């Protein structure tokens, strides 16, 4: 069961982190588009947030199971606590991105997309930090 859960965890990681990298590269492509074309493209590219949500959901659910052996010693593992704090930060950032994505669909898209761009950069850095900490903890 642990191997299956670990596979789900890595699929979630690929989906979640992949969303951040995809948005970064799509942002570079959009910078070469006209403002009108980029605005329409951004609205269509919001579908990637669904992939990020599914990935994050898989990570959280599988992570809760994979953490079972560590719950009793959690207080002794500072790096693991730091990693879990970064996971909480990532969940907060993804929630803010989702709220702004909903706002962008309703109107004033430019304002919301500026916020999403900034939050997206933080989410990517946070996700990479989580991966680095996981490698340091579970090597």
- Residue ranges making up the domain that contains 30: 2-138
Write 93-101 long-range contacts (CB < 8 A, 24+): 93/119, 93/122, 93/123, 93/126, 94/52, 94/53, 94/56, 94/123, 97/49, 97/123, 98/49, 98/53, 101/46, 101/49
C-alpha to C-alpha distance for 104 and 134, rounded to whole angstroms: 34
Per-residue confidence (pLDDT) for residue 73, from 0 to 100 = 86
Residue 46's pLDDT band (cuts 50, 70, 90): confident
Helix H segments across 31-108?
35-45, 48-66, 78-106
C-alpha to C-alpha distance for 93 and 50, rounded to whole angstroms: 14
C-alpha to C-alpha distance for 137 and 119, rounded to whole angstroms: 26
Question: Structure pTM?
Answer: 0.86
Domain count, the chain: 1
Tokens of 118: 């900034």
- Tell me: the pLDDT tens digits for 112-136? 888 888 888 899 999 999 999 999 9
- Mean of the per-residue pLDDT values of the chain: 89
Mean pLDDT, rounded, for 31-55? 86
Residue 4's pLDDT band (cuts 50, 70, 90): very high
* CA distances (Å), origin 112, targets 23, 35, 73: 15, 15, 42
Torsion of CA 69, 73, 75, 79, to 10 degrees: -60
Residue with token string 């492509």? 29
- Among the listed ranges 4-13, 52-61, 95-104, which one has the minimum average pLDDT value? 95-104
């Amino acid at each position: 069961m642990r191997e299956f859960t670990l596979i789900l965890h890595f699929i979630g990681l690929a989906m979640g982190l992949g969303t951040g990298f995809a948005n970064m590269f799509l942002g570079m492509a959009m910078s070469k588009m006209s403002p009108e074309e980029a605005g329409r493209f951004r609205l269509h590219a919001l579908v990637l947030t669904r992939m990020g949500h599914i990935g994050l959901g898989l990570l959280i659910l599988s992570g809760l199971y994979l953490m079972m052996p560590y719950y009793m010693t959690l207080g002794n593992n500072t790096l693991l606590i730091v990693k879990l704090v970064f996971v909480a930060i990532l969940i907060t950032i993804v929630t803010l991105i989702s709220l702004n994505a909903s706002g962008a669909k309703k109107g004033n898209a430019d304002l919301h997309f500026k916020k999403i761009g900034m939050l997206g950069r933080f989410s990517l850095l946070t996700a990479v930090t989580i991966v680095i900490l996981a490698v340091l903890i579970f090597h």
